[in-house]
Amino acid sequence: MAYFTRTRDTVWYGPGLLGTIYLISGVVVAATHDYFVNVDTVKEIVSAVLAVVLWPLLLVGISLHIH
């Protein structure tokens, strides 16, 4: 049985600073494009999640609302 020492390379700390900034920017952009208004159904929740993750597409005018 092999034991591995924990180094900085083997320990996962989460998304990191850039990932956190990216997700916060996505939440802000999605909120300004009204993706969090009346999130009642699964389609609206999926639209909101897509808007947060793919927020640069919202800035160029692509709608991510699922109908």
Lowest mean pLDDT, pick from 1-5, 16-20, 48-52: 1-5
Q: Residue 9 falls within a domain, yes or no?
A: no
> CA neighbours within 13 Å on the CB side: how many for 16?
4
Number of domains observed in the structure of the chain = 1
Q: Residue 26 falls within a domain, yes or no?
A: no
| 8 band by pLDDT with thresholds 50, 70 and 90 | low
What integer is the mean pLDDT of 47-61?
95
Residue 64 CB coordination number (10 Å): 19
Q: Are 40 and 58 in contact (CB under 8 A)?
A: no
Q: Give the domain extent around 62.
A: 38-67
Q: Report whether pLDDT(3) > 80.
A: no
Q: How far is CA 26 from the centre of its chain?
A: 6
| 16 band by pLDDT with thresholds 50, 70 and 90 | confident
Q: Residue 11 falls within a domain, yes or no?
A: no
pTM for this model (two decimals): 0.75
